[in-house]
Copies of this chain bind each other. A is one copy, B any other.
Amino acid sequence: MTIPDAIAELSLLLGQGLSCSKSDLDIHGRSESYFDTIPPDAVVYPTSTTQVSEIVQVCAKHNCPVIGFGTGTSLEGQTAATSGGVTMDFSKMAAVLEVSPEDMTVRVQPGCTREDLNTHLRDTGLFFPVDPGANASIGGMAATRASGTTAVRYGTMRANVMALELVMADGRIIRTGTAAPKSSAGYDLTGLIVGSEGTLGLMTELTLRLQGQPEAVSAAVCAFPDMAAAVKTVTETIQIGLPIARIEFLDSASIECVNAYAGMDLPATPHLMVEFHGSENGVSEQIEMFREISSDNNGLGFEWATEAEDRNRLWKARHNAYFAIVASRPGSRAIVTDLCVPISRFAEAVEETRRDIDASGISGPMLGHVGDGNIHAILLLDENNADEMKHAKALASRMAERALRFGGTITGEHGIGLGKMPYMSAEHGDGVLVMAAIKKALDPQNILNPGKMVTTN
C-alpha cells in the first residue's frame, strides 16, 4: 500500500485525467503566500461526483493522501502536499447546475469561481455576495470559510452554504442540508464541513443562498484623525442598525501607498470606506445618517457617490490597496496576517499592532473589515533576508497571541492550513481534542488533507 500503487491504479481509471508533469505538480504545490512549493505526487482532474468517489476509494485502499484544490488562492498553505499524495483539482467540475430564482438559491459544482457564478447570475436579478477579493472557487471558499468585504451585511460562507454533496474518506457519497431555508433536523453537518479545509470530506456540489441585486448602491469614503474615532463611527453605525453592505478601514500607511500607486491625494490618516445597498431612498437616508455619525466623531472629510463610475473611483483605493502596498517596496514578498477581535477592542488591537510593527523596522500597512473586527497587516519582506523573515514571523506570532488576548481569533477568514497550526491549542484549549476526535471518526486513515487543521496523533 503505497502512493505509487495508488497513482498506478488511478492512472488506469482516469487516463488523461491524471497528470504527473513537473509543471502541473509545481503549480499545485505552490502557494500565494510565503510557503515553499510542496508538490503532490500526482494531480487528478475528476469530472463527476462518481469519479471523485472512485478516486477516494482508490486512495483509501492504498493509504494515499488526497488534497482538494480549487484555484490555489489560499493563504495559509492549505493545499501544500506535506505528505505527498494526490491533489484533486476541481477545475473540470465548475458548472452552475441550477438557479432557483424563487428560492434565491443556486446549486454549483465546487470548481465554479465566484466571478463565473456572478456572471452567470447577471440577468437573474440575483447575486452571490461573498467576496474574498481573489477569484476563488466556491468549493475553496467554503473549505476555508472565506468571507471578505461584504460579510458584515451578508455573512461568511458559513451563512451562505445551505447544503452540500460530499464524498467522505471511504468514498461514500452523502448529502447534507436541504433546499429549505432552515432546518433543525440533526447535527449541522453542512456547518461542520464548511471551514474544514478538506480534512473531513470533499465537496462535490454546493447549494448557496443568493441575494437580490440592490435597486441602488451608494458608497462613501471618510477620513478620521485616529483609529478610535473611526471605530467609534463603525460601532455607532452598526448599533443603530444601518444595513452597511461593506465597511472597510485603511490605516494611514495604507493610504500613503494608495496615494502613491493611484496618484490620489487622500489625507494620510485612517479612512473608512462604506457601501450601502437598498432602495434609492433607503441608501440616501443611510448615507446621510452615516455622514452625521462620522461628523459627530470628528470625521475629517466625506465623499459619497451613487453613480457607478464615481463609486468605482472611490472603491479603487480599496480594491488596489494590496497591490499598492506591495508596490511600495519593489521586489518584496508579502505576509498577510489575519487577526480578528471583538469590535470593542479593534482600535486598541490596531494601535498595539502598529507600534509592534514600527518597532520591528518592517514595513506593514494595515487594512481590514472593521465591521467584522478583522485586521490584516501586510508585512513586506525581502525573502532572501533571513533576519527580516524571522522578525516578520515573530510579528505574525505576536498578532495571533494579541487576537486571543483581546478575546478574538487567530484567523478571521484565511483559515488554518499550515500557517496557523501552531496557535490552534492556544485558541481552542481542549477543543482541539474534540476536533481531533471528529477527524479520527470521519477519516480514520487520515488521508484527507493530512497534517492540516488538526493533529491526530
Count chain A residues whose beta carbon lies closer than 8 angstroms to a beta carbon of B: 97
Task: Select one of B176, B189, B428 contacting A185, CB under 8 A.
Answer: B428
Beyond A191-B188, A438-B442, whether A147 also contacts B182 by CB under 8 A is yes
Q: Which of A218-226, A276-284, A384-392 contacts B (4 or more CB under 8 A)?
A: A276-284
Say whether A182 contacts B430, CB under 8 Å.
no
Contacts of A181 in B (CB 8 A): 340, 342-343, 371-374
Task: List A residues 419-436 near B (Cβ within 8 Å).
Answer: 420, 424, 427-435
Q: Which of A24-32, A263-271, A403-411 contacts B (4 or more CB under 8 A)?
A: A403-411
Please name the residue on chain B nearest to A176 by beta carbon: B431
Say whether B105 contacts A180, CB under 8 Å.
no
Contacts of A175 in B (CB 8 A): 428-429, 431
**Bound Cα distance A241, B213 (Å):** 8
**Bound Cα distance A281, B344 (Å):** 30
Beyond A100-B344, A212-B239, A431-B175, whether A416 also contacts B188 by CB under 8 A is no
Q: Which of A37-45, A151-159, A252-260 contacts B (4 or more CB under 8 A)?
A: A151-159
Say whether B342 contacts A179, CB under 8 Å.
yes
Task: Select one of B102, B126, B144, B413 contacting A343, CB under 8 A.
Answer: B102
- A94 at interface, CB cutoff 8 A: no
Return 22 A-B CB contacts under 8 Å, by A number.
A103-B344, A145-B184, A147-B184, A156-B184, A168-B434, A172-B433, A174-B434, A175-B431, A180-B340, A180-B374, A182-B413, A185-B420, A185-B424, A186-B416, A186-B431, A186-B453, A187-B438, A211-B241, A212-B239, A215-B241, A438-B441, A438-B442
Say whether A341 contacts B180, CB under 8 Å.
yes
Task: Select one of B195, B239, B282 contacting A186, CB under 8 A.
Answer: B195
Interface membership of chain A positions 9-23, coded 1 if the CB is closer than 8 angstroms to chain B and 0 otherwise: 000000000000000
Please name the residue on chain B nearest to A181 by beta carbon: B372
A240: min CB distance to chain B, Å: 6
- A412 at interface, CB cutoff 8 A: yes
- A244 at interface, CB cutoff 8 A: no
Contacts of A239 in B (CB 8 A): 101, 104, 125-126, 212
Task: Select one of B176, B185, B195, B211 contacting A416, CB under 8 A.
Answer: B185
- A354 at interface, CB cutoff 8 A: no
**Bound Cα distance A319, B415 (Å):** 44
Please name the residue on chain B nearest to A211 by beta carbon: B241
- A196 at interface, CB cutoff 8 A: yes
Contacts of A121 in B (CB 8 A): none
- A312 at interface, CB cutoff 8 A: no
- A178 at interface, CB cutoff 8 A: yes
A135: min CB distance to chain B, Å: 19
- A194 at interface, CB cutoff 8 A: yes
- A362 at interface, CB cutoff 8 A: no
Beyond A212-B241, A343-B103, A412-B184, whether A431 also contacts B189 by CB under 8 A is yes
